[in-house]
Amino acid sequence: MEVIQKCCASMRSIRIRVDTKACKASNGTKSLNIRDRSRPFCWHNGCVPLGKVAWGLLVAHDGQSTELYPGVSPKGGYLMQKRFIVGSVLVGSMAFPSFAEDGSAINLVDTLWILVAAFLVFFMNAGFAFVEAGFCRSKNATNILAKNFSVFAIASLAFWALGYGLMFGRGEGLVGVDSFLVGEAANNPAPNLPVFAFFFFQLAFAAAGCSIISGAVAERIKFGAFLLFGMIMVAFIYPLGGHWVWGGGWLGRMGFHDFAGSTVVHSVGGWAALAGVLLLGARLGKYREDGSSKAIVGHSLPLATLGGFILWLGWFGFNPGSELALDDNVPRIALTTGLASCAGILSAMLTAWIIGGKPDLSMIINGCLAGLVAITAPCAVVSPAGAIVIGTVAGILVVFAVLMFDKLRIDDPVGALAVHLVNGIWGTLAVGIFAVPGYVDGVTGLVYGGGARQLGLQAVGVAAVGIVAFGLSLGFWALLKNTMGIRVTREEEIGGLDIGEMGMEAYNGFQIFSTEM
């Protein structure tokens, strides 16, 4: 590596040729052998597309080997020294892989990108907190904010101690069997990344599942019961489906495709939330004696809108980051993610407008989130046009799903079930319909001549993960209900959880108390 970096730093005209057995850097009589690795200079699935430009390097691929030309412009010809000096510094420090103690190649550019993506996903916790608080009444705002703030801490410790090992530990059975109490020796499915970078990225996903639950059980859940279930969720329930799909388990080997988590993250969170809502019951005053529902309006649409924007931004770390490398797929994944969300916004707005006579901002926000949830599984395998169709259907589904759950007397204050559960299922099935052949080997959708095979695999995965997630969640919620209790008292619910559970008001001096349920 020293010879290569010196050559790049001095901007000399060298050629580096990489094959699957060795790497030789030739500059006059100098040469350097690097141990056999499948990914040292590879950006995706062991190969580099022709004309790939990475930090000032033009990368060519002839099917047998990869050639890197430091300082060569895409149009041909060596760049002038003064124009290449910045690029040479970046090349010398980042473009070439570092080698970990076990000999694996760590790509520093990929690592930087994944950390940025992980930070974006982490910031989604603020988005969940604001959306939920805005859609709920002001007397419960402190409680909701505290839940979302605290649950990441609970999730972090639970995922570090148990969840990561069950999800990504070695083993092809139902769960992983090692890598608990994550350290340097933990199993790492992404050899181009340091294990701690991969862990933090996955941790941010795990915490998102708990935030989904928070909104559905809001305004009547005990604070301690929610945090305890959040720990159970991240330590035991979430890792099961994750191992089956992403950790080398049976669904992934079978061909089930969930790129960034429509099922693994969102549906699992939705199933856990549904189980909790069923055992928790509706909020006081939500349903009248004749069975009709009463609208309980949130206190701050501006706060909910801000949360929606934060979640929208975070999703551009959620989906593109799941590539686990900075390669040609990332811009396309970002595009499909954005198009689906925009289509979801418009279709939800129009659907609510037609049904209710006016555009509904809460449905507009949830339409955006529905489109994002739906595109999460297929974002890497569909075309831009396919993404628009998926997002459009998601926006329509979220409106009708909110109305459906209301008719079933399943009280969800923020629409989390309609967004994450319903559209997590839809997005996962959409892979089997709209997947473009060639993006991922063996994954071809129905409309592209792939037949019903992939759609069938997607349905099997949805059902398997859903049954286990819902069953385990129902059992754990029932255990908590019969031991510590999961619902606050009637007096606390009427007075507000801010006072009853937290002992403080979100808007001190401005709170309007009421005995209205």
β-bridge pairing 105-106 and 23-26 = unpaired
Residue 6 confidence (pLDDT) above 60: no
pLDDT(33) > 60: no
Segment 51-80 shows an average pLDDT of 37
Identify which has the larger pLDDT, 515 or 46: 515
Confidence (pLDDT) at 442: 81
Q: Which residues pair with 142 in a beta bridge?
A: none
Categorize the per-residue pLDDT at 47 as very low, low, confident or very high, splitting at 50, 70 and 90.
Answer: very low
Topology at the third CATH level for domain 106-502: Ammonium transporter fold (1.10.3430)
Q: Give me 226's structure tokens.
A: 């929610």
pLDDT of residue 291: 81
Task: Spell out the SS3 assignment of 403-437.
Answer: HHHHHCCCCCCCCHHHHHHHHHHHHHHHHHHHCCC
Residue 464 CB coordination number (10 Å): 19
Where do the domains of the chain lie? 2-96, 106-502
Is residue 69 within 8 A of residue 56, CB to CB? The reply is no
Q: Is the CB of residue 262 less than 8 Å from the CB of residue 427? A: yes
> What tokens appear for 429 in the block?
């099935």
Mean pLDDT score across all residues of the chain: 84
Tokens standing for residue 358: 């006016």
Q: Does the predicted model carry a pTM greater than 0.95?
A: no
For 29-78, give the DSSP string.
TB---B---SSTT-SBTTB--TTEEETTEEEEE-SS-EEEEETB-TTSSB
Q: At what angle do helices 195-216 and 141-158 cross, to 10 degrees?
A: 150
Task: Specify the pLDDT at position 97.
Answer: 58
Q: Which residues pair with 68 in a beta bridge?
A: 16, 59
122-160 residues labelled b (16+ CB within 10 A) or e (exposed): bebbbbbbbbbbbbbbbbbbbbbbbbbeebbebbbebbb
Whether residue 209 contacts residue 233, with contact meaning beta carbons closer than 8 Å, is answered with: yes
Instruction: State pLDDT tens for residues 182-230.
Output: 999 999 999 999 999 999 999 999 999 999 999 999 999 999 999 999 9
Query: Each residue of 476-511: pLDDT tens digit?
Result: 999 999 999 999 999 999 999 999 999 999 998 775
Considering only residues 97 and 429, tell me which one the structure prediction assigns the higher pLDDT.
429
Q: How many C-beta atoms lie closer than 10 Å to residue 223's C-beta?
A: 16
Distance from C-alpha of 324 to C-alpha of 332, rounded to nearest angstrom: 14
Q: Give CA separation, 456 vs 426, 447, 452, in Å.
A: 13, 14, 6
Q: Are the beta carbons of 374 and 335 closer than 8 angstroms?
A: no
Q: How far apart are CA 182 and CA 15, in angstroms?
A: 40
